[in-house]
Structure 1
Amino acid sequence: MDKAGDAVTILGAGTQGTRLAYMWTSQGQPVYLIDKDEKQLEKAKKGVETLKSNTQSPWATSGKWGEVITSSPDGLSEAASKSWMLLECLPESLKLKRTIVKELDELAGAETIIASNSSSYTIEEILENQSLKQPDRFSSLHCYWPPETSAIEVMGSSKTRPEIISLLMEETKKHGFSPFHVRKNSTGYLYNRIWAAIKREALLTLAEGVATPQELDAIFKDVLKTPKGPCEQMDVVGLDVVRDIEQHYADVRTGIPEEPRQYLQKMIDQGKLGVKSGSGFYEYDRK
């Protein structure tokens, strides 16, 4: 399959959008970074330069950097005309994502791939009941914390053309990612399905009074030699976000226990959201 252009367009200049712009410019091709917030675009561009200045990065000596071209949504049409892929990195709202993929389907050329970086919603869910011109060119393309974590999960819908998956596997690897093909529709992709089970069982253990967060994290780190335990990780993500993700799993699967969500909700009601609120399983300096 031939690419429809040289550039990649990324919608959303938040943390993920910034880091993905860095990755997708690593082979000399431009990235169009689209966001309605001008200050966020400025911050993103500085963020990309900061990542480039990291001399320990595997891409530090490549010398092939492409340009990051920032724009308001007014520039989306022009960016799309020069891009082989449009990648949405917008907030985790199913309604918002369904709206934007519909707009992108109308806007993009016939050979342009449209992908979602959503961690919560599969492309199958996003496309559900949508009337689209080309439903066979959509994919989920979910990454974690690039460039430090290079894993990226490539998952199509039941209608995605196989050659699109092949191209995404090839291009992500070329740009420094470690691609993993999710072979069937899977809420949580690969890693997050396993991580969800760990989170859920940790929360159930706490809800039953079996251990404290400190004890749970300590034994987890002792056995698996990880830098953070599950409670510390959930504090970083945000307990309200963890609760929403858990709710989504419960909505799409049977047999998900309620106690972990109830435990989280009690903490959220007390204003304990984790690092961002200064208090969660642990206390944090608000600065």
Structure 2
Amino acid sequence: MTSSRGVTLIGAGTQGTRLAYMWSRCGRPVHVVDKDPKQLERSAKEIERLRKEWPLSSLPGERGGNTDWGKATFIQPEKLESAIQQSWLAIECVPESRPLKKSIIQQLDGLAPPDVIIASNSSSYTISEILKGLTLRNADRFASIHSYWPPETTPVEIMGAETTRPEIIERLMKESTAHGFQPFHVRRSSTGYIYNRIWAAIKRETLLALDEQVATPAEVDALFKAVLKTPKGPCEQMDTVGLDVVLAIEEHYAEERPELPTAPRDLLKKMIADGKLGVKSGEGFFTQDK
């Protein structure tokens, strides 16, 4: 029964760890899978920290009477099949590489019983893109579940492929709500989902304005924050994410939309060539405080 089955998360990085915290809120087990034992140790410590900082009563959601956390187990890939047999949902949270994600999804389809939902947490690739070219046993059970920074930021975007059964989406919407997420249904396959498409347009226009010397990064961010009352402006946000990552995302959008202007990507390429990657390199649009 679903009530006794848990969630398997492949990848013990930041997203996999934070999702494991969220999916254990209704008393069901979570299985965190990673090939790196040290990463699994870090994940276990972080989940314990999150449970202390964000107790069960701190987030919305119906827990079905459960007052205890679900058991979290931390395992290496050789125990993946056993974990999936005990799960109703498996989510890949591996790094943002399309070949890697396709490989993991193919593996999960081969291991998981037919009633297990398989999802991707990719931020830039749709589930349709990931499934393309794969030979699948059960092509109707796949979805994307894109999260941001749980538990502080609870929205998730849930998107199916053309072959996904409607009841899969319905179940994910219901279960994610019960676990304290705020789910939004992406009704058609969409590169960038909903929020990231809007955010991409903001980034793109910011880069265009800077390339045209309409304003400085400091002026853009100051105006943006003054109008929208946000803690960070678009330049600060891009510095935090990493300008190399921003460029990779923009290149992916451009693959599908050749009409997009090239100037934003050209500006990013120049900055990256100059060693300006943002926070990670100490300098991007802004010089970071030491």
Query: Is the structural similarity TM-score above 0.5?
Result: yes
1:6 corresponding residue in structure 2:
5
- Whether 1:194 and 2:201 are equivalent positions in the alignment is no
In structure 2, list runs of 5 or more residues that go unmatched.
Answer: none
Q: How far 1:64 moved relative to its partner?
A: 1.9
CA distance in 2, matches of 1:5, 1:165: 20
Partner of 1:123: 127
Separation in structure 2 between the aligned mates of residue 3 and residue 247 of structure 1, nearest angstrom = 40
What is the CA distance between 1:154 and its match in structure 2? 0.5
**How far has the Cα of 1:254 moved from its partner?**
3.0
Letter in 2 for 1:90: V
SS of residue in 1 equivalent to 2:122? coil
**By how many angstroms is 1:58 displaced?**
1.2
Kept in 2, the 8 Å contact 1:3–1:111? The answer is: no
User: Could you tell me which of 142, 155, 162 is aligned with 2:166?
Assistant: 162
Partner of 2:34: 35
TM-score by length of structure 1 reads 0.96
Quote the offset at 1:5 in angstroms: 5.8
Distance 2:153 2:217 in 1: 26
- Choose the corresponding residue for 1:88, options 89, 92, 104: 92
Instruction: After the TM superposition, list the runs of 4 or more consecutive aligned residues in structure 1 that deviate by more than 3 angstroms.
Output: 2-5, 59-63
Q: Would the aligned equivalents of 1:4 and 1:112 in 2 still touch at CA under 8 Å? A: no
1:267-282 residue pairs with structure 2 within 5 A? 267-282=271-286
Q: How many residues end up aligned between the 2 structures?
A: 285
Residue type at the aligned position of 1:177: F
SS at match of 2:17: helix
Map 1:146-157 → 2, pairs under 5 A: 146-157=150-161
Maintained 8 Å contact 1:118/1:142:
yes
Question: 1:227 and 2:226 equivalent?
Answer: no
What amino acid maps onto 2:89 in structure 1?
A: M
TM-score when scaled to structure 2?
A: 0.95
8 Å contact kept, 2:239–2:278: yes
Whichever residue aligns with residue 167 of structure 1, its letter is: R
- State how far apart, in whole Å, the 1-side matches of 2:245 and 2:9 are: 23
Write the letter of the residue equivalent to 1:221: K
Mapped partners of 1:164, 1:6: distance in 2? 16
Partner of 1:252: 256
Letter in structure 1 aligned against 2:234: P
Q: How far is the alpha carbon of 1:159 from its aligned partner?
A: 0.2
Displacement of 1:63: 3.7
SS at structure 2 position matched to 1:158: coil
Asked whether the equivalents of residues 114 and 137 of structure 1 are also in contact (C-alpha less than 8 Å), the reply is yes
Q: Indicate the SS of the match to 2:187.
A: coil
Q: Secondary structure at the match of 2:140?
A: helix
